[in-house]
Chain A
Amino acid sequence: MGAVLVVLEQRDGMLKRVSLEALAAGRVVADAEGSEVHALLMGPPGVSTEALGRHGADKVLAAATPDLALYQPDAFATIAANQVSTGNYDIIVLGATAMGRDLAPRIAAKLGAPLAPDVTSLTANDELVVTRPVYSGKAVFTLRVVKRPCVISVRPNVFSPTDAAKPGAVEGISADGVVAARATTVKVKEPEKAVLDVAEASIVVSGGRGLKGPENFHLIEELAEVLGGAPGASRAVVDAGWRPHSEQVGQTGKTVSPSLYVAVGISGAIQHLAGMRTSKVIVAINKDKDAPIFKLADYGIVGDLFEIVPRLIAELQKIRGN
C-alpha cells in the first residue's frame, strides 16, 4: 500500500495544532495498512519540525522558502500534487481550516482523486471508512473510499494528536518548477490584539441576542478568558453589528468542535446548531427553559444570564486563583 501524506499548516513560522491532529488521522491509516506517514511542510525556512516525529511522522518533507511564508494556493497545490505523483502515496490528509478547505479540492482535482472533506471519524481495517456531517449537521454520511489516491480533510479539534513516536527525520524537497502564480496572497491583515480564533479554540463561549447589547459582551470575553477559550457569537448579534463576523458560529459562520461549548443567551436555532453540534460538551445558559439549545446541551442553567455569568466568572476566578 502507498504511504500517507499529511499536509501541514504553519502560521508565522509556528505549526498549527490541527497539523498534529491530521498526523494522528494519517497514523490510523498507516498503522492499519502497514505503511508510513510523511509530513509535508510548505513554509518559510526555520519552522520547528521537532514535534512531528514525536507525534507520528515517519519522515518530514520540507519545502522551505520565504516565498511560501504565506499560503500561496497555486504553489502549495502544485508542490503537494507533485509529491503525490512522484512518491507512492495513497491517502493525503489536511486539516479542514481556511487553508485546508481551499487546498484540498485543488490537490484532488490535480490528481483526479476523490475528496472527503471535513471528516469527523476515520476507521481503517480492511477498508477505509470515514464519516462526515452534511445537511447542516442534521445527517451524517458514512463513506467507503473506493479509489486511491484519496484526499481527506479532518475537522479541527476532533482528532487528538498521537504519542506514537517515529523518526521524523527532515528531508528537504524542492519548491522549484512551481508555476508562475496568477493569484498571489500579498498579506494577512491581523487584528491589533491577537485573539484566539473560535474555529481553533478548545473552549468556546458564545453570546447571543440575550446579551441585549454590545456593551454587555465583556461578560462573554471575561468568561472565555477565565476558561482559556475564545469568544463566539450567534448570527443575530453579528448581523446587528455587535460582534465581528469572524466570531460567528453556525451555518453561515464557522464550524467548531471544541471540548467545551458554552452558549449564553442563544436560543439554539438550527443554523446555529449546524456550527457547534459536534462539540464534546455543551453548556447552555438561557432564561427560557423551553429554548431548543437545552435539547442539545449536556448541562443547562435556566435563568438570567446577567446574574449567572458574573457568578460563574467569579467562581472560576477563585478556582484559578488557587
Chain B
Amino acid sequence: MKIAVCVKRVPDTESRIKIAGDGKSIDEAGVKFVLNPYDEFAVEAALQLKEQHGGEVVVVALGTDASQETVRTALAMGADRGVLLKSNASSLDSLGAARLLAAELEAGEYDLLLFGKLAIDDYNHAVGPMVATLLNLPCVSSIAHLEISGASGTAEREIEGGVEVVEFSLPAVLTTDKGLNEPRYPALRGIMMAKKKPLEVKEVTVEPGGLEIIELSVPAERTGGRIVGEGPDAVPALIEALRNEAKVI
C-alpha cells in the first residue's frame, strides 16, 4: 500500500498568540511549533496500515523551510520519506494549498491520501476534501474508525447526535479525527533514523486567494464578569442574574 500523509506545521496550542506588526499575521517570535495534532492521527493510521499491508508512507508538507522539522517529526514516527513543497510565504488560503498539494500527489499512484480533519492554526477544515475533489477521488472526512479490506474500506465519522457509516473504494482521501488511534511518540532510534531518511525539497509559489486579510486581532477580553458569591447560598443570586440581567433562562 502506498500512502501519502499531508502534515502541517502549526503553533502549539499552549503558545500565547501575539499579533505581528503588520496586523495581519502572528508574531512567531518565541512561539513553539509542532506537527498539527490531527495530522498525528493521520501519520499513525498510515503507519498501522503499512505494518499490516506493507508498502510505503510518504509525508508531504507545504510551507517555509521551517516545515522540514515537521516532516522530520513524522519521519521519526516511522514514515519512509518526505517531500517539502517549499514556499516563501505561509498561506491561509485553503484552496491554494489544496491545489499545490493535489499537483504533488496526483502522479504518485497512492492508494490512500491522509490528512488531519483540520489544522489548528487556520481552522479551515478544508484541505482534505478539496484535494479529493480536485483529484476526483472519493473522500470521507473526520473519521474516528477505519477498516480497509482489499480495494475498499468502511469509515465512521461522528455527526451531531450520531455516527455516519461510509463505504468507499480505493484510492481514496481520508481526514482523521481524534479517537481513530493513539499516535505513537517518536523513539530515540526513530529520531536518529529520521535524520538519514530522504527529504526532497521542491519550490512552489503560493498565489493570493480570494479572501483578503483586513486584520488579525485578539478577541476583546470578556469584561464585566463577576463572582456572584461563594457556596450554595450564592445560587439564588446566580439564577436572578441569569433570568433578569443576562435573560438567558
On A, residues with C-beta under 8 Å from B are 11, 70-71, 73-74, 77, 96-99, 101-102, 104-106, 108-110, 112-118, 129, 132-148, 150, 181-191, 194-197, 199-200, 203, 227, 245-246, 251-253, 259-260, 270-271, 274, 277, 280-283, 289, 294-304, 307-308, 310-312, 315-316, 319
Contact = CB atoms under 8 A, between A and B. Distances in A.
Nearest to A148: B210
Contact of A298 (B92, B158, B222): B222
A113 B95 CA distance: 8
Nearest to B23: A142
A178 B12 CA distance: 42
Nearest to B16: A138
Contact of B126 (A104, A182, A283, A303): A104
A71 B164 contact: yes
B159 interface: yes
Contacts of B146: none
B22 interface: no
Q: Which 7 A-B pairs have the closest CB atoms?
A: A114-B210, A147-B210, A109-B133, A183-B138, A105-B126, A182-B138, A98-B159
Q: How would you classify the secondary structure of chain A's contact residues: helix, strand, loop or mixed?
A: mixed
Most buried by A among B14, B162, B218: B162
B11 interface: yes
A183 B166 contact: yes
A134 B221 CA distance: 16
Interface stretch (B45-53, B104-112, B240-248): B240-248
B134 A146 contact: no
Contact of B211 (A110, A116, A183): A116
B127 interface: yes
A183 B216 contact: no
B210 A142 contact: no
B29 interface: no
B235 interface: yes
A195 B216 CA distance: 37
A140 B249 contact: no
Interface stretch (B59-67, B71-79, B116-124): B116-124
Contacts of B83: none
Contact of B225 (A146, A187, A253, A300): A300
B235 A308 contact: yes
Interface stretch (B1-9, B198-206, B226-234): B226-234
Given A97-B160, A144-B211, A274-B13, A135 B121 contact: yes
Most buried by B among A114, A139, A270, A297: A139
B222 A282 contact: yes
Interface in B138-159: 138-142, 144, 156-159
Contact of A109 (B93, B123, B129, B246): B129
Contacts of B222: 282, 295-298
A300 B235 CA distance: 10
B126 A146 contact: no
Given A135-B11, A245-B158, A312-B238, A109 B98 contact: yes
B248 A140 contact: no
A295 B130 CA distance: 38
Contacts of B35: none
Contacts of A315: 235-236, 239
Contact of B159 (A144, A150, A188): A188
Given A109-B130, A282-B222, A182 B166 contact: no
Given A141-B216, A143-B212, A70 B224 contact: no
Contacts of B227: 289, 294, 299-302
B241 A299 contact: yes
Contacts of A74: 138
Contacts of B179: 245
A299 B227 CA distance: 6
Contacts of A297: 222, 225
Contact of A308 (B159, B162, B232): B232
A186 B167 contact: yes
Interface in B145-197: 156-169, 172, 178-179
B17 A138 contact: yes
Given A112-B95, A134-B121, A102 B141 contact: yes
